[in-house]
Amino acid sequence: MDIQSIKQRFGITGHSPLLDRAIDVARQVAPTDITVLINGESGVGKEVFPQIIHNLSSRKHGPYIAVNCGAIPEGTIDSELFGHEKGSFTGAHEARKGYFEVVNGGTIFLDEVAELPLSTQVRLLRVLETGEFFKVGSSKVIKTDARVVAATNVDIPEAIQKGKFRQDLFYRLNTVPIFIPPLRERKDDIVLLFRKFAVDFAEKYRMPALELDDSSRQMLMNYRWQGNIRQLKNITEQISIIEQSRLITSDILQTYLPRENRDLPVLYNKESASSDFSERELLYKVLFDMKRDINEMKKLVVDILEQGGVSHDLKREHQPIIAQLYNEIDNQGDEENMNYTGNPSEPIVLDTFYTHEVLDDSLSLEKREIELIKRAIDKHGGKRKNAARELGISERTLYRKIKEYDIH
């Protein structure tokens, strides 16, 4: 079966070379019993490829089971996969077959395989290597002839470094890797997918299909689609139901596209995005932090000069440079701080240069921090856990700050 026939049979839309490559690898590996690991971001359609592999294999008449490993609680995952004996744990009123026993002779798809507990990973590794496993609460070896196809949206090499995934299991699963490209790497396919979904929802809800103008097509192609195909389908359905006009412009489309995440220079919780802590206050805090760092640099310069044998008064040739630097920094801060306006030939006293301003800044920072903490606590009715989340700090840190500043 060629790639185009596979697309038609399994409802795959797109002409991306990366997508065609993934389908081609799945087609070639299907007749074998090799273990396959499918990689790709959430929402790219990884669940279709195990079906391709199963239906193009000699096991196509055998059972096919898809298991979402991330949706099964850790305490029951072993029982779900390998079964259990009666009385093996509380609630085990009768013996039960696991998925590996049921799927004997067929294919099992382990989605989100990186979510498996380490103890379960050990059991899975034995199944892959020997085809043997034990039921929970049993010492009897059970054999299974199951083909394993796994998928994950996690960077497994990184998970291995963090001790969350076994390296030997990764190598065993990753015999043949298949990478499913994200939607942003298939820009030419985005409009095709939108049209397909628009037609599907038009039939479902008995209404005319949506159409795109040139500006909205360009907007669709330029958007990052962090949720990939799943997000695109969801937005197409929303627009199909809500909008009266069947011609979608960029003005209409942008009301349905969430703002993309932006990196902020401070800790910022998404949950506090609608709070009354304005951007001005956040930037104000950043500026104070910068001013504090500059003061620490001033002190470092003073220490270096003093330790290097320079007198308490700076050498005459360095005074104009230091004076200019000091005035530029001070002009960005509090107006009450002293600026240097004297004759460059006169000495600059280091006590004035450093001590006075650090004291004022430290007091200003402390006062501002106390004010922000009080506002957050008042806003959430004294609930410190919610206040800590609002401030972007841990609850433990908030308790320490409250005690340190004696906030009531």
Beta strands 176-179 and 36-39 are: parallel
Digit-coded pLDDT (tens) for 372-398:
888 888 888 888 888 888 787 888 788
**Is 373:401 a contact under the CB 8 Å cutoff?**
yes
- Please give the residue that has the higher pLDDT: either 359 or 26: 26
Digit-coded pLDDT (tens) for 211-263:
999 999 999 999 999 999 999 999 999 999 999 999 999 999 999 998 754 33
In DSSP terms, which residues pair with 107 in a beta bridge?
Answer: 64, 147
Predicted pLDDT of residue 334: 45
DSSP 336-390: TSPPP-S-TTSPPBHHHHHHHHHHHHHHHHHHHHHHHHHHHHHHTTT-HHHHHHH
**Is 122:78 a contact under the CB 8 Å cutoff?**
no
Q: Which fold has domain 187-254?
A: Helicase, Ruva Protein; domain 3 (1.10.8)
Instruction: Supply the CATH classification number for the domain 3-181.
Output: 3.40.50.300
pLDDT at 298 over 50: yes
For residue 115, give the DSSP letter.
G
Domain residue spans in the chain? 3-181, 187-254, 272-405
pLDDT at 161 over 90: yes
Which of 31-35, 291-295, 326-330, 345-349 has the least mean pLDDT? 345-349
Structure tokens at 182: 């994200």
Of the pLDDT bands very low, low, confident and very high (cuts 50, 70, 90), residue 312 is: very low
- Tell me whether the CATH fold assigned to 3-181 matches the one assigned to 187-254: no
Beta strands 64-68 and 247-248 are: unpaired
**Is 115:67 a contact under the CB 8 Å cutoff?**
no
Which of 87-91, 110-114, 187-191, 328-332 has the least mean pLDDT? 328-332
Predicted pLDDT of residue 167: 97
Whether this prediction's pTM lies above 0.85 is answered by no
Question: Which is nearest to 323 in space by CA: 303, 355, 349?
Answer: 349
